[in-house]
Amino acid sequence: MKKIIIFILIFCFVLTSTGLAIDSELNCDCQEYRKLSLQEPRLKGNDVLELQKELKDLGFYEDELTSIYDWNTYLAVKEFQKERGLSVTGKAEKHLWLELAKALGKKPTTIQVDKKSPPEGEVLIVVDGYARQLIVYVDGEKYQTFPVAIGKPSTKSPVGEWTVISKNVRRGGALGVRWIRLNVPWGNYGIHGTNQPGSIGRAASKGCIRMFNRDVKVLYPWVEVGTKVKIIGRRDPIEITHNLRPHQAGKDVLLLQEKLREYGFNAGRTDGRFGEQTIEAIKEFKYIYGLQDDLIGDKNTLYILGIE
């Protein structure tokens, strides 16, 4: 038994030392990957929806987007395979997603030779959800732009100012070949590759930022733990239903931080964490407006900030 335990410990150490993830942090909702085929019960999910969208854009699928791998989806896959000279199986596997991306004209960014090494200077990443782009800034200057996929309307990407808290090399799959995790307090979000390259440029993920595998491999060494990542874009309305207190975290705290900033108080980064800078900002705010000095974001505070 002792030998088995020692072997397992050594195996885990080897995997982690080589950067291959066995990390519990990798339970991102985007990890959905299946070989799609016509079967009973019918397969249903975001991957099927993305397949239907791509086939529809190419003119092979003309029916309603159902997220269900039904007979019409099966026939559309077969027609695409026949058109592209592939084995006509009616199944959506890895090579089919790659062919769909090629047919849609989706391809990774061409990187200049002098940009293949990590840049010297402070790196900031800005994800523009409107333009579907990830922009790398170095010392405040635009350095490189990559196309990305963002969260779909029902699972939007987290708008805010985040920090990279871990990195992992991967073998592939739904998260691609690299994973860069962000410190979003209400979910497991990150920047990663994809096995569905045709989705790049769309609102298609479950909230994460997808990149071409080749692009994320370029980005990966440029990013360190602690790198700042700002995501801008559309988000759902945030409702605050209770008092906000120091050391709480969530979307409601992020809204409080945004409003304090609008009113000229430095609440720090809009990261959804009621930390020291937000505490100092609420303290100053309540002093100036003559409110009770208790560091609580109560109904009077929210009312003056225009949240209620």
Q: Are 176 and 190 in contact (CB under 8 A)?
A: no
Q: Are 182 and 163 in contact (CB under 8 A)?
A: yes
Q: Are 134 and 125 in contact (CB under 8 A)?
A: yes
Mark whether 192 is an active-site residue: yes
Mark whether 30 is an active-site residue: no
In order, the DSSP letters of 269-295 are S-SSB--HHHHHHHHHHHHHTT--SS-
* Cis peptide leading into residue 41 (ω within 30°): yes
Q: Are 198 and 97 in contact (CB under 8 A)?
A: yes
Q: Which of 12, 28, 30, 192 is catalytic?
A: 192
Q: Are 179 and 209 in contact (CB under 8 A)?
A: no
Of residues 86, 94, 89, 100, the one with CA closest to residue 57: 100
Q: Are 300 and 307 in contact (CB under 8 A)?
A: no
Q: Which helix (H) or strand (E) holds 7?
A: helix 2-17
**By CB neighbour count within 10 A (0-12 exposed, 13-18 middle, 19+ buried), where does 9 fall?**
exposed
Q: Which of 95, 208, 242, 247 is catalytic?
A: 208
CB hemisphere CA count around 284 (13 angstroms): 13
Q: Are 158 and 187 in contact (CB under 8 A)?
A: yes
**3-class DSSP state for residue 219?**
helix
Residues with catalytic roles: 192, 208
